[in-house]
């Protein structure tokens, strides 16, 4: 998990405020809303330079517009005229095509200090200012301005995520979680970056229940190997986990979730199926390895040939014989082995029947029964009885991996 956390931190992009910086493109149109020259008798020098500045701005001659603003400034009288000039300066300094962040920031700050701005224009300037602080590397100012903007105007998902990311970097995990959740709530669709901030913050505090609660939620949404592995392989950390009993179940869940298993995992899965006396499943896995060009198939030719021979025998007569034999046994476990063979052969309905017989016969410890219930749920799902499968999985309580794998299968089943 430590490696995962480091990878997530490295993958987090700069958030939100790059978008806000694009508001600079709208600043030209804001000048049209500048107040008319209401004062009586503006000076001729002011009027001429002010009009020249507007003309230059509309022609996107930004340097000339600023030059004319500077020429008009000494002749401006009162807040209204000064504000009108500074709005032109902002528009000419903050156009999206201009990357002079310092000039844009200075223009905005001067316009705000001059006063005379409409509330909507102040709001736009504040958002532009946050973006330019961010783009110029003034992170502390960007964070402070964004928080101020959120308090004054509310925030977008990008604003919240920007704050969350910076709080995470500062190890203010409670704030990171709060703002990441706000980003998630404000977003129109699931965003991996926002959830990754949550995961990092929970992991850093060792709040693993919360961490896995998030993983359980997002694994079926994003359906990516990273999340599925975190969720499913967590079963191996259960108090009474026994690999010999449950490793095969872990690989089955990973495979069903669409996770690409590593060659060594495929080999281990094939061996686990063979050792569990399910040659049909083992043969199926060897076939997948052969299609993938795995050199282990050739290296283990004798074993593979024997597995395939046993699988063919099971399909022909041995499964039926095993079922008859299971009926005479005191424990229900032999029924479960036969059920697994039928499930591997594609007969989910028969597998459901035999798993149910296995559980009904009993004479097994509770942990073993719960693992069989886990497999019953898988058979029910593959038989098209999803509601029955979920009900079966929800009944599992053992801490040997069965309950956690059941939780994982419920998440897997959400994908259809």
Q: Give the CA distances from residue 106 to residues 64, 113, 125, in Å, rounded to whole numbers and listed in that order.
A: 18, 10, 12
C-alpha span between 416 and 412 (Å, rounded):
8
Which pLDDT does position 35 carry in this prediction?
A: 47
pLDDT tens sequence across 265-302:
999 999 999 999 999 999 999 999 999 999 999 999 99
Which pLDDT does position 48 carry in this prediction?
A: 96
C-alpha span between 215 and 361 (Å, rounded):
36
Residue 169: both structure tokens together: 């970097």
Is the pLDDT score of 360 beyond 60? yes
C-alpha span between 146 and 140 (Å, rounded):
10
C-alpha span between 70 and 56 (Å, rounded):
13
Q: Taking residues 80-97, what's their average pLDDT?
A: 96
Q: Taking residues 210-226, what's their average pLDDT?
A: 97
Instruction: Tell me the pLDDT band of 18, cut-offs 50, 70 and 90.
Output: very low
- Could you give the 3-state DSSP secondary structure of residue 402? helix
Report whether 20 contacts 127 (CB < 8 A).
Answer: yes
Which pLDDT does position 9 carry in this prediction?
A: 42
pTM above 0.85, yes or no: no
Which residues touch 299 (CB under 8 Å, ≥6 apart)? none
* Residue of 183, 201, 156, 190 whose CA lies nearest to 18: 156
Which pLDDT does position 408 carry in this prediction?
A: 98
Is the pLDDT score of 20 beyond 50? no
Instruction: Tell me the pLDDT band of 22, cut-offs 50, 70 and 90.
Output: very low
Instruction: Tell me the pLDDT band of 13, cut-offs 50, 70 and 90.
Output: very low
C-alpha span between 26 and 131 (Å, rounded):
14
Measure the N-to-C terminal CA separation of the chain; round to a whole number of Å: 28
Residue 312: both structure tokens together: 């063919």
Q: Taking residues 324-330, what's their average pLDDT?
A: 97
Residue 410: both structure tokens together: 């419920």
Which pLDDT does position 415 carry in this prediction?
A: 75
């Amino acid at each position: 998990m430590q490696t995962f956390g480091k990878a997530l931190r490295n993958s987090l992009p700069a958030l939100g405020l790059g978008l806000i910086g694009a508001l600079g493109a709208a600043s030209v149109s804001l000048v049209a809303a500048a107040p008319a020259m209401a004062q009586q008798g503006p000076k001729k020098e002011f009027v001429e330079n002010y009009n020249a500045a507007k003309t230059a701005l509309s022609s996107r001659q930004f340097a000339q517009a600023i030059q004319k603003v500077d020429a008009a400034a000494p002749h401006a009288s009162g807040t209204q005229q000064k504000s009108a000039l500074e709005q032109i300066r902002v528009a000419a300094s903050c156009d999206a095509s201009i990357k002079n962040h310092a000039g844009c920031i200075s223009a905005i700050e001067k316009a705000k200090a001059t006063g005379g701005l409409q509330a909507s224009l102040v709001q736009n300037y504040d958002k532009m200012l946050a973006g330019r602080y961010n783009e110029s590397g003034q992170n502390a100012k960007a964070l402070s301005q964004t928080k101020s903007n959120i308090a004054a105007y509310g925030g977008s998902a990008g604003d919240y995520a920007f704050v969350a990311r910076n709080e995470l970097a500062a190890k203010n995990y409670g704030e990171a979680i709060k703002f990441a959740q706000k980003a998630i709530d404000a977003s129109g669709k699931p965003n991996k970056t926002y959830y990754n901030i949550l995961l990092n913050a929970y992991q850093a505090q060792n709040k693993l229940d919360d961490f896995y609660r998030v993983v359980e939620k997002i694994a079926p949404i994003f359906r990516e190997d990273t999340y599925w592995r975190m969720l499913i392989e967590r079963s191996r950390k259960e108090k009474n986990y026994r690999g010999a009993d449950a490793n095969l179940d872990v690989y089955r869940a990973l495979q069903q979730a669409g996770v690409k298993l590593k060659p060594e995992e495929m080999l281990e899965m094939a061996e686990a199926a063979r050792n569990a006396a399910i040659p049909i499943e083992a043969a199926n896995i060897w076939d997948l390895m052969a299609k993938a060009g795995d050199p282990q198939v050739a290296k283990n030719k004798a074993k593979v040939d024997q597995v395939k021979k046993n699988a063919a025998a099971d399909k022909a007569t041995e499964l039926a014989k095993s079922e008859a034999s299971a009926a005479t046994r005191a424990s229900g476990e032999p029924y479960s082995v036969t059920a697994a063979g039928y499930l591997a052969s594609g007969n989910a309905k028969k597998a459901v029947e035999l798993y149910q017989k296995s559980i009904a016969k009993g004479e097994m410890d509770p942990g073993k029964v719960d693992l069989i219930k886990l497999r019953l749920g898988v058979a029910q799902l593959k038989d098209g009885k999803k509601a029955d499968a979920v009900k079966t999985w929800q009944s599992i309580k053992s801490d040997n991996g069965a309950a956690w794998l059941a939780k994982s299968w419920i998440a897997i089943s959400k994908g259809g």
